[in-house]
């Protein structure tokens, strides 16, 4: 494969997934600058090893590289990563339903309630361990299939389902305790 062909194929198969890669890295690192570093390193690795990619799902392949790059970064920066604050503005969970509800009901009280709910969800998701947070983000934010998640992480589909179930349960417990404390 010539350099020009490789670049064109890489641009077509991998570059369109930059937002997904950054989103996953941001949730895993809990920091925009660290996520940028992880994604940059992941893209360098992806390009370097692109000749070995023979599949059709560039997104899943790239997110696997982002995940592996994160774990390498995490091992190198473990103490710093544990004390990094979550940047709420960067981790806005906004679905189409949220945007629709927000535009339909712009009274200050409703907006405040929605903002508080969003903040609580972000805090709860941040509180999950990395193994649960990564599958939750891949499934609920990036909408990957169980099969894609299993391939990215290198675990059986049953384990993906188990981690999602346990992650959701922990998320619900965190959110209910937050609501009881309020």
Q: What is the CATH number of the domain that holds 12?
A: 1.10.1740.10
CATH code: domain of residue 166: 1.10.10.10
Structural domain of residue 122, as residue ranges? 79-182
Cα(8)–Cα(11) distance, integer angstroms:
5
Q: Are residues 19 and 84 in the same domain?
A: no
Secondary structure (H, E, C), the chain: CCHHHHHHHHHHHCHHHHHHHHHHHHHHHCCHHHHHHHHHHHHHHHHHCHHHCCCCCHHHHHHHHHHHHHHHHHHHCHHHHHHCCCCHHHHCCCCHHHHHHHHHCCCHHHHHHHHHHHHHHHHHHHHCCHHHHHHHHHHHHCCCCHHHHHHHHCCCHHHHHHHHHHHHHHHHHHHHHHHHHC
The tens digit of pLDDT for each residue in 90-145 reads 444 444 444 444 444 678 888 888 887 788 888 888 889 999 999 999 998 899 99
pLDDT band for position 54 (50/70/90)? confident
Q: Are residues 45 and 72 in the same domain?
A: yes
Domain count, the chain: 2
Q: Are residues 37 and 96 in the same domain?
A: no
The tens digit of pLDDT for each residue in 149-176 reads 999 999 999 999 999 999 999 999 988 8
Q: Are residues 64 and 83 in the same domain?
A: no
Q: Are residues 87 and 54 in the same domain?
A: no
Q: Tokens 């675990």 identify what position?
A: 155
Res. 50: pLDDT tops 80 = yes
- Structure pTM? 0.74
- Mean pLDDT for 33-48 is 96
Q: Tokens 């194929």 identify what position?
A: 9
Q: Are residues 91 and 160 in the same domain?
A: yes
CA nearest to 119, candidates 130, 131, 111, 109: 111
Q: Residue 89's pLDDT is what? A: 43
Q: Are residues 87 and 177 in the same domain?
A: yes
């Amino acid at each position: 494969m010539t350099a020009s062909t490789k670049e064109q194929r890489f641009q077509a198969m991998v570059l369109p997934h930059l937002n997904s890669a950054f989103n996953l890295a941001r949730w895993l690192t809990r920091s925009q600058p660290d996520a940028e570093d992880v994604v940059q390193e992941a893209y360098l690795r992806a390009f370097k090893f692109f000749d070995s990619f023979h599949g059709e799902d560039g997104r899943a392949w790239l997110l696997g590289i982002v995940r592996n790059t994160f774990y390498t970064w995490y091992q190198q920066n473990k103490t710093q990563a544990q004390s990094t604050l979550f940047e709420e503005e960067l981790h806005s969970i906004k679905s189409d339903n949220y945007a629709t509800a927000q535009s339909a009901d712009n009274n200050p009280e409703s907006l405040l309630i929605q903002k508080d709910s969003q903040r609580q969800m972000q805090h709860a998701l941040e509180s999950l361990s990395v193994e649960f947070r990564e599958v939750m983000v891949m499934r609920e934010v990036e909408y990957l299939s169980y099969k894609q998640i299993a391939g990215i992480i290198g675990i059986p589909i049953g384990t993906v389902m188990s981690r999602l179930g346990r992650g959701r349960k922990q998320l619900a417990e965190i959110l209910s305790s937050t609501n009881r404390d309020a």
